[in-house]
Chains A and B, each alone.
Chain A
Amino acid sequence: MGINKKSVPMREQPPEQRKHNFLEVPLGYSKEEATLEAQRCLQCPTHPCVDGCPVHINIPAFILKIRQNKLQEAIDIIHQSNLLPAITGRVCPQEDQCQAVCIMGNVGDPISIGRLERYVADWELENRKKGEVKIPEKLPPKNKKVAIIGSGPAGLSCAADLAKMGYDVTIFEGFHKTGGVLTYGIPEFRLPKWIVEEEKKFFEKLGVKFETDVLVGRTITIKELMENGFEAVFIGTGAGLPRFMHIPGENLDGIYSANEFLTRVNLMKAYKFPEYDTPIKIGKRVAVIGGGNVAMDAARTALRLGAEHVFLVYRRSRKEMPAREEEIAHAEEEGIEFMLLTNPVRYIGDEKGFVKQAECIKMKLGEEDASGRRRPIPIEGSEFKLDVDQVIVAIGTTPNPIIAKTTEGLKTGRHGVIEVDENMQTSVKGVFAGGDIVTGAATVITAMGAGRKAAASIDKYLRGEL
């Protein structure tokens, strides 16, 4: 039997069309496409993909079920390791994880595991719409309460595992809506918000309780949670503190952190202003600073809001961009104008205080730095002015300090990350942490992996084995 070396492509909204709407870009596999792609899997006995997956989904097993068109069994297999496959199937950097180690990659394209995961998950979501929902099996109630702080990927995956083990789990969320970065950060066109909502309902059916509008550290402290009967706490508050460059003019009107820009659009639905009350400035000439996934999200969002030109200003070259290749390609296809080896040095405003120009400097690449990437060096005298009426700073985030500041005895490290031991336990007994708050900004799936690992430790701890 011949093996198809090429993976089955996924249909997408064409760039000219999609850059004017907020609808999802990749359209998903049909049954035929998914079956064809599933047939490419060699079902190899070493299955390196499983180890490449941060939550160790039994990938060959669920792919086999797709081949046999036993989709309920496929989703059951995925659910054993991951309760949010519709999300991870869309936002995971599979090319660096499961697909990077797929042995089909040696002879052709690796199996499109993410697309297949999404296919199964979407099939299940469609069933849920019809009222058919299968809740994973749960152990009998243990009558022990666990508090989870933050309803992002780390918190959700930790909560799911603990709920399945029979714990009484409550997730506390500062915002009025749950999901963390899935809700405020990742745009609708990459992750439709109805999916996040649907997953929340699923979690509720699993017995997880959600308390929104509670900012732990301010509304209630960790100590108070523990005095109120929570026997263990998991901190999954993410890396939600935006970094700025601290260059002159950065506080001019029209200059946003990517977090603010995306929160206004995604969480507050400013793209539907004035139907929704939260406003956003619609830039005509927008500069997005940075080269990561968030920068791509911000640039593509600005374009959809109606910008005529969106410049992606990045201090290194395309090769060093931390964003996923797929996202970079999407941005290029949509007409985002890349200004590489360029860095802003100051912003110039008009008389009302709105930004009107970004003064930038050209860069060249020097020696490798600690990150293993070549260090960008400014080229003296290469300054130039770029006319802009909006700037979005997407140069990364650091951990939010509120919990650390309000929890006595909680040890933190560089940039304010919370320190944990090999069991994800912090310096405070019974308090665990995972995700971006521990590692600094990373991906949805690594946070989910951390959440799962912490859940296993919390279980041990509550059984007196830790």
Chain B
Amino acid sequence: MFKILKKEKLAPKTFFMEVEAPMIARKAEPGQFIVIRVYEKGERIPLTIADFNRDKGTISMVFQEIGKTTHLLGTKNEGDQISDILGPLGNPSEADYFGNVICIGGGVGIAPVYPLSRKLKQNGNRVTSIIGYRAKDYVFWEDKMRSASDKLYIATNDGSYGEKGFVTDVLKKILESGEKPDRIFAIGPAIMMKAVADLTRSYKIKTIVSLNSLMVCGMGMCGACRVTVGGETKFTCADGPDFDAHLVNFDELMKRLNTYKEEEKISFEKWKEEVKYYGD
């Protein structure tokens, strides 16, 4: 059992949770993730480690309420327990010195971008970050991202805060201005990472994405998370989650993410009925 020490609502349907997990905290590095199971009958889902504190022995996660599991997690409060957390899983991001780097985060993907930018900055890189939200209400961790970046751009889809548009619109402007970053990192929805990859491909800038495949085991024994990278099948949990964006078959990834759409709906509807949930 893993105790929730802190819970904070960051934005609509978006929560921050800090959990007591000393063994994981001791080993966690930016880019790694955990697999959690909220309760006895729960499914195993992967969540990126948003941050960790080795001294306190805690890790934190940021998640958005989408289906049953994330909504159920959202009902948990400080002092409550999460049945299982396994981690840290996957390979740490390669965050050495590259020179000029751009870190791109979309939605809850901004949470894992934060420790990554922080480490990149610590390692002497000049870090430009571009973070995108749906709208002003959804903005979180602006201050943290500012502290971890030399330059920060914010975009909102509706223009209610920062620049209007997607993170790729901002990225495009930067690249068109002649800036030549040595490496780009992007974490967010698959469709966003695909758009970033498509854009940077023509500029031939090495781009790393952190994939969010469906997962069961998290330790390489099931293959639920397999993706095609450079024409080869890779397991996101064991070989990733970071991959060269220009080699990832995003269309396949997005199709695989939709495998259980119907079942996810059945599960969520049943839960809403049970707990008399009247949210959206």
Contacts and interface: CB of A to CB of B under 8 A. Distances in A.
Interface of A: 174-176, 212-215, 218-220, 240-242, 244, 246, 250-254, 256-257, 259-260, 263-264, 268-269, 273-279, 281, 352-353, 400-402
Contact of A260 (B84, B216, B255, B266): B216
26 contacts: A174-B86, A175-B86, A175-B217, A176-B84, A213-B84, A215-B86, A215-B219, A218-B88, A240-B221, A242-B221, A242-B223, A244-B223, A246-B233, A250-B233, A251-B226, A251-B252, A263-B216, A273-B267, A274-B267, A277-B41, A277-B69, A281-B260, A281-B263, A401-B220, A401-B238, A402-B220
Contact of A213 (B69, B86, B216): B86
Contacts of A250: 233
B42 A240 contact: no
B223 A268 contact: no
Interface centre among B87, B222, B252, B258 (most CB of A within 10 A): B222
Q: Report, nearest first, the 9 A-B pairs whose CB atoms are least far apart.
A: A353-B255, A279-B263, A240-B221, A260-B222, A277-B43, A176-B84, A257-B223, A278-B43, A253-B259
Interface in B32-84: 37, 41-44, 68-69, 83-84
A254 B255 CA distance: 11
B223 A218 contact: no
A223 B36 CA distance: 26
Contact of B87 (A218, A253, A260): A218
B258 A353 contact: yes
A237 to B, nearest CB: 9
A400 B255 contact: no
Interface in B215-235: 216-224, 226-228, 232-233
Contacts of B255: 252-253, 352-353
B95 to A, nearest CB: 18
B267 A219 contact: no
A218 B43 contact: no
B85 interface: yes
Interface string B248-271: 000010011011100110110010
A216 B256 CA distance: 29
Given A218-B89, A279-B264, 11 more contacts: A176-B84, A218-B87, A218-B88, A253-B255, A253-B259, A260-B222, A263-B222, A268-B43, A274-B263, A352-B255, A353-B258
A275 B266 CA distance: 11
A263 B228 CA distance: 22
B87 A219 contact: yes
Contacts of A401: 220, 238
B222 A219 contact: no
A20 B222 CA distance: 26
Interface string B103-136: 0000000000000000000000000000000000
B27 interface: yes
Given A257-B223, A277-B43, A219 B259 contact: no
Contact of A220 (B23, B84, B223): B23
B193 to A, nearest CB: 18
Contacts, number: 121
B178 to A, nearest CB: 39
Contact of A259 (B43, B68, B89, B222): B222
| Chain A interface, >50% SS class | loop
| Chain B interface, >50% SS class | mixed
Contact of A278 (B44, B89, B221, B223): B44
B41 A276 contact: yes
A273 B83 CA distance: 19
Given A269-B41, A401-B238, A214 B23 contact: yes
Contacts of A176: 37, 44, 83-84, 86
B221 A281 contact: no
Interface centre among A176, A241, A254 (most CB of B within 10 A): A176
A402 B216 contact: no
Contact of B219 (A174, A212, A260, A277): A174
A448 B44 CA distance: 29
B253 to A, nearest CB: 9
A440 B224 CA distance: 22
A298 to B, nearest CB: 13
A282 to B, nearest CB: 10
B209 interface: no
A260 to B, nearest CB: 4
B24 interface: yes
B238 A260 contact: no
B216 A264 contact: yes
B223 A260 contact: yes
B44 A352 contact: no
Nearest to A260: B222
A283 to B, nearest CB: 13
A72 B28 CA distance: 50
Nearest to A351: B255
Contacts of A264: 216
Interface in B155-183: none
